[in-house]
Amino acid sequence: MDYDFIVAGGGLVGSSISYGLAQQKYKVAVLDGGDRSFRASRGNFGLVWVQGKGWDFAPYAQWTGRAASLWPEFVDKLFGETGVVVDYQRSGGMHFCLNEEEWNEREQEMKKVSQHTEGSFEYEMLDHNQVKETIPQISDAVLGASYSAQDGHVNPLYLLQALQQGMDCHKVHYFPNQSIDRIESKQGGFFAHSTQGALSAEKIVLCAGLNNRRLGEMLGMNIPVVVDRGQIMITERLQPFLNLPTLHVRQTAEGTVQIGYSHEDVGLDDGTSPSVLKKIASRAVLMFPFLARVQLVRAWGALRIMTPDHNPIYQQSADCPGAFTVTCHSGVTLAAMHAGPVAEWIGGSSRLDLINQFSTNRFNVSPN
């Protein structure tokens, strides 16, 4: 076999996993798509977000909490090894509520997350005045917000770059423009075929986002990836005014303001639509009236790697042991987890009990 591990996909998930595996001294090859491949990692918002996650699925609440707690050390390590500044800030984060109903619903969700994590998830429900103390630019339309000091944000592109340089430091072999066409399971390992030829490894990890479903079928795994489009826009650089991210609006380290949050079922279309852009802009202006005069520089669509219940999938194939998948839409927040505990689980050096909660068995499909 050429390698110990082949990792399919070089986005945030694939890079975190490879980085983690390489730390365990495994010989790893990453087969990545091309410059124009759908790349959820290039389209996302950059939130390292804890609040609200897993309110309806306790394991995810615990999982996210753990991931967030690993972040500071994760960033320091990456910086130490690569020198790449990822602009991570554990600044706290807010989710604005625009009416009483939203606020109450949100409070219930936050309560549940706290319960699921036995209180280690901490939050505050804020009223308008309390929000305004921290963010004076908000309008009266913001009734209140849920706040968690455990939330933060990062530059997801620099994070990917740091991971790729980290991979390089640890001698991972990175092969761009080599999307996998098919995988054969034979001779005690796996053969991944792309247009450039074939590579073999004892084990394989599918981190190829939208391609996980197709590749999973070749390895006896049913990975129900659901495509979900989000549209995001970004403004010109502004002098700093917002020092903590909100779900819909965050100001980056460069001063640009990123605005978003939408969900659509449009298939494999990462374009934009005027109606959704208008909605996103309207909501941003509703919350921050002064943004009405800010200029947009770019708007894009990106395809989230969704699962039917929005929670991650971590699975080892029963039919083809040694084949794994990591499928999730929170590649940013979970990066620290993927580079650490999950990579160790895949590498076989540790058990991770919680991870069994995330197998595809929960979807009641053919037993895997």
Partner 1 sequence: MKNHYQLLVIGAGPAGLAAAADASRLGLDVALVDEQKAPGGQIYRNVGSAREGVRTYLGKDYLRGKPLVEEFLQSGAIYINNASVWYLDERLETGLLIDGASHFITADRLILATGAQERPMPLPGWQLPGVMTAGAGQILLKSAAMIPNGRVILAGSGPLLLLIAWQYLRAGVKIDAIIDTTPWSSLPGALPYLPRALPAFDYLLKGLSFMLAIKKAGIPVYKAVVDLRAEGHESLESVSFTTGRGKGNERTKISIEAETLLLHQGVIPNLRLPLAAGCEVEWDAQQQSWKTPKDIWGQSSVDRVLVAGDCAGIVGARAGELQGRLCALQSAHQLQKIDLEQRDRVATRIKHSLKKHLSIRPFLDTLYPPARAYQLPEDETLVCRCEEVNAGQIRQAARMGCVGPNQVKAFTRCGMGPCQGCLCGSTVSALVADETGASMEQVGYFRVRPPFKPITLGELANT
Partner 2 sequence: MFRLIDETSVDTLKLSIEGREYEVPVGISVAAAVLLCGFDKVRNTPVTDSPRLPYCMMGICFDCLMIIDGVPNQQACQLEVRENMTIEVQQGAAELLQER
CA-CA distance, 325 to 229, in Å (whole number)? 22
Confirm if 167 and 182 have CB atoms less than 8 A apart.
Answer: no
366: burial class by Cβ within 10 Å (0-12, 13-18, 19+)? exposed
How many chain residues bind partner 2 (CB under 8 A)?
A: 13
Q: Whose Cβ is closer to partner 2: residue 290's or residue 308's? A: 290
Collapsing DSSP to helix, strand or coil, 24 comes out as: coil
User: Minimum distance between the CB of residue 79 and partner 1, rounded to whole angstroms?
Assistant: 16
CA-CA distance, 56 to 348, in Å (whole number)? 30
Task: From residue 355, give the alpha-carbon distance in Å to each of 61, 208, 245, 326.
Answer: 12, 19, 29, 11
- Residue 159 CB partners (closer than 8 Å, separation 6+): 12, 78, 86, 88, 332, 335
Looking only at the bridges linking them, the beta strands covering 197-206 and 323-327 are parallel
The one among 69, 91, 137, 361 contacting partner 2 by CB under 8 A: 137
| Sole window of 147-155, 177-185, 235-243, 312-320 interacting with partner 2 (rule: CB under 8 A) | 235-243
User: Minimum distance between the CB of residue 258 and partner 2, rounded to whole angstroms?
Assistant: 15
| Sole window of 56-64, 97-105, 210-218, 286-294 interacting with partner 2 (rule: CB under 8 A) | 286-294
Q: Examine residue 236 and tell whether it contacts partner 2 (CB under 8 A).
A: yes
Confirm if 308 and 289 have CB atoms less than 8 A apart.
Answer: no
The one among 290, 308, 318, 348 contacting partner 2 by CB under 8 A: 290
CA-CA distance, 166 to 171, in Å (whole number)? 9
User: Minimum distance between the CB of residue 294 and partner 1, rounded to whole angstroms?
Assistant: 5
Q: Examine residue 294 and tell whether it contacts partner 2 (CB under 8 A).
A: yes
Binding partner at 255 among partner 1, partner 2, none, C-beta below 5 to 8 Å by kind: partner 2
Mask 225-244, x = binds partner 1 (CB under 8 A)? ----------xx--------
| Sole window of 169-177, 291-299, 326-334, 336-344 interacting with partner 2 (rule: CB under 8 A) | 291-299
The one among 25, 182, 263, 278 contacting partner 1 by CB under 8 A: 278
Q: Whose Cβ is closer to partner 2: residue 179's or residue 252's? A: 252
Hey, what are 323's tokens?
């084949």
Task: From residue 73, give the alpha-carbon distance in Å to each of 66, 78, 88, 166, 178.
Answer: 12, 9, 11, 15, 32
- Residue 362 CB partners (closer than 8 Å, separation 6+): 309
User: Which residues in 109-168 contact partner 1 (CB under 8 A)?
Assistant: 157-158, 160-161, 164-165, 168
Single-letter code of the amino acid located at 347: G
Q: Examine residue 298 and tell whether it contacts partner 2 (CB under 8 A).
A: no
Binding partner at 308 among partner 1, partner 2, none, C-beta below 5 to 8 Å by kind: none
| Residue entry with tokens 């927040």 | 333
The one among 70, 143, 238, 281 contacting partner 2 by CB under 8 A: 238
User: Which residues in 43-82 contact partner 1 (CB under 8 A)?
Assistant: none
Cα distance between the two ends of the chain: 26
User: Which residues in 246-265 contact partner 1 (CB under 8 A)?
Assistant: 254, 259
User: Minimum distance between the CB of residue 86 and partner 1, rounded to whole angstroms?
Assistant: 12
Mask 282-311, x = binds partner 1 (CB under 8 A)? x-xx-----xxxxxxxxxx-----------
For residues 224, 176, 336, 75, the Cα torsion angle rounded to the nearest 10 degrees is -160
The one among 92, 176, 220, 255 contacting partner 2 by CB under 8 A: 255
Note the residues at the interface with partner 1 (CB under 8 A). Answer: 32, 34-36, 42, 157-158, 160-161, 164-165, 168, 174, 176-177, 235-236, 254, 259, 271-274, 277-278, 281-282, 284-285, 291-300
